[in-house]
Structure 1
Amino acid sequence: MSALIYTVFANRADARAVSARLLDEKFVACANLLGSIEAMFEWEGERGEGEEFAVLFKTHEARLDDAVARLEALHPYDTPAILGWRVEAHGAATADWLAGLTG
């Protein structure tokens, strides 16, 4: 089964560096650098807003928990927002491709 992980970074350089590490270390098979997004958020009792850089990672469900933990360790934010979920519907070719991560 497939899985996805979503997070944001302060800039493209950080997003690319962490994505490359996750790819090199075989935690993910793909990183879609989605680009600049506007963020509005509630943090420590205050309303904030700013620009961030979104990334969507593709992985195999067997690697999801480890990939999330590794992403959290590599992420430059002190408390990064990282969301991962298992995908129940996917194309057969996608499932085969991502299964390669489990060796």
Structure 2
Amino acid sequence: MEESESAHGALQADRSESVWMAMTNLPDEASAARVARAVLEARVAACVNRLAPCQSEYWWQGKPEQAMEYPLLIKTTAGQYGALEAVIRATHPYDVPEVVAWPLVAGLPAYLDWVRTETTGAKATPVEDRPE
């Protein structure tokens, strides 16, 4: 067996551990911070980037709308996506929040391993509740 076949087989072995990038948009900085904290504390994400606000234009209830929104880029795994979506839906202020995700096809192996390790699904102990 060639090395590339072996590496390919290892990559295909457990799709639930493949690393995904998820995205959602929030209406204000406070709700963006709250959702980011919630997915991290639930351990369904290894990292969340709160991006600069952007102008969104979209159709809502049959009319074109505009809004300033705060995007979140969330690093998770395929196996944790369902739990991530549930946390976002429970904490998001929109009736129909944008929650989309896509698999990463390449990345620094050490970084991808870190995402897998940190995205365990086991609730973290909040910093203020940890013993010193």
Of 69-78 and 50-59, more deviation after overlay is shown by: 69-78
| Runs (4+) off by over 4 Å | none
Q: Name the structure where helix makes up a greater proportion of residues.
A: 2
Unpaired runs of at least 5, structure 1: none
Residue identity in the other structure for 1:56:
L
In structure 2, the residue matched to 1:46 is: 63
| Alignment partner of 1:10 is 2:42 | no
Aligned partners of 2:49 and 2:39: how far apart in 1? 12
| Alignment partner of 1:58 is 2:75 | yes
Unpaired runs of at least 5, structure 2: 1-17, 122-132
Higher relative CO (Cα under 8 Å, sequence separation at least 6) belongs to 1
Q: Name the structure where strand makes up a greater proportion of residues.
A: 1
Percentage of pairs with the same residue: 28
Q: Say whether the 8 Å CA contact 1:60–1:102 is kept in structure 2.
A: no
TM-score calculated relative to the size of structure 1:
0.91
In structure 2, the residue matched to 1:86 is: 103
| Alignment partner of 1:23 is 2:40 | yes
Q: Say whether the 8 Å CA contact 2:27–2:68 is kept in structure 1.
A: yes
TM-score calculated relative to the size of structure 2:
0.73
CA RMSD of aligned residues (A): 1.3
How many residues are matched? 103
The higher radius of gyration belongs to: 2
